[in-house]
Amino acid sequence: MMMPKTYSSLPNFTFHDYQGLLESLLQVGYKFEFVKNLLPASSIDQSKKQIVYLRHDIDFHLNGVEKIALIENRLRICATYYVLLTEQYNVLHPRSLAVLEAILRLGHDIGLHYDLSIYPTDLPAAHARLRWEIDLLRRITGRDIKTIVTHQPFRGIPDPFRALDIYIHPHNSKYQENLTYISDSARSWRDENLLNCFKESRPQRLLLNTHPEFWLSDEMIKDRWVYSKSVMHPNINAIATDSLRAQEAVWRDHIATKLHDAREVK
């Protein structure tokens, strides 16, 4: 185990600092639990066990996300990965499926990340849409989907699913007592609340949301625009680029292109 970082400053977005953050949370006594095991305030363990509910919203791509799952697995930490079915990554592509399988094999859980901006405004239709997405993700993963979270809640669209009892939504008001929420939104730390987890008066329960796509670098790339261009763009485009290269190889060898070009020469 590497020496834990002393938390006088927030972690950089690197593999190294991600691992250091988890090790430091373990070192100060936090245990990690699945979001689906969140308990309402009335049933919170009276022993005041310190718990981290580690959550990942997959907003951009699955490519490379298994590296984060592996870091956690090596530390015997469990996390919940929330997958969108409606973003630009194709969950059914074999390479995406391989990442989802790796996440599950490494001991993690998968939940649904739903995007209200594309949901029907009619309430029964919205519920039917949610059930359809959950069923789809259940079939894709072969696991029951017990937990859901909203994509881009900052858009302010009223969320009819947050208070449902049948799925665990970590922002349901019944879970909020004694639960501190911290997220790495926009590859940035909004405030320094994360550092409170390493003080004497640390939060008892922490809902920590990190986007794995922001941490996939050995190199410390502080500039988020440079990171976006040099790491996120290639990862987002990885499957499309390989698919296009494969198509170009087909074009080069295809009899139709040879016959077509031979006619052009005449």
At residue 78's C-alpha, the angle toward residues 88 and 87, to 5°, is 10
**For Zn ion, which is the closer residue by CB, 11 or 212?**
212
The reply on whether position 109 binds Zn ion by CB under 5 A is: no
The reply on whether position 72 binds Zn ion by CB under 5 A is: no
**For Zn ion, which is the closer residue by CB, 146 or 151?**
151
CB of 149 to Zn ion, least distance (A): 8
132 to 161: interface string for Zn ion, x by CB under 5 A: -------------------x----------
**For Zn ion, which is the closer residue by CB, 30 or 60?**
60
CB of 62 to Zn ion, least distance (A): 13
Q: What secondary structure letter does DSSP report for 209?
A: E
* Half-sphere CA count of 201, side-chain side, radius 13 A: 1
3-state SS of 68-102?
A: HHHHHHHCCCCCEEEEECCCCCCCCCHHHHHHHHH
The reply on whether position 57 binds Zn ion by CB under 5 A is: yes
The reply on whether position 59 binds Zn ion by CB under 5 A is: yes
CB of 83 to Zn ion, least distance (A): 10
Element (H, E) at 127: helix 123-141
**For Zn ion, which is the closer residue by CB, 154 or 251?**
154
**For Zn ion, which is the closer residue by CB, 98 or 186?**
186
Q: Residues near 256 by Cβ (< 8 Å), separated by ≥ 6?
A: none
Q: Which amino acid is at 3?
A: M
d(Cα 129, Cα 228) in Å, to the nearest integer? 32
d(Cα 64, Cα 56) in Å, to the nearest integer? 13
**For Zn ion, which is the closer residue by CB, 17 or 115?**
115
CB of 146 to Zn ion, least distance (A): 18
d(Cα 153, Cα 254) in Å, to the nearest integer? 48
CB of 59 to Zn ion, least distance (A): 4
CB-based closest residue to Zn ion: 151
Q: How many residues bind Zn ion (CB under 5 A)?
A: 3
Stretch that binds Zn ion, among 59-67, 130-138, 184-192, 247-255 (CB under 5 A): 59-67
> Do residues 82 and 55 make contact, with C-beta atoms less than 8 angstroms apart?
yes
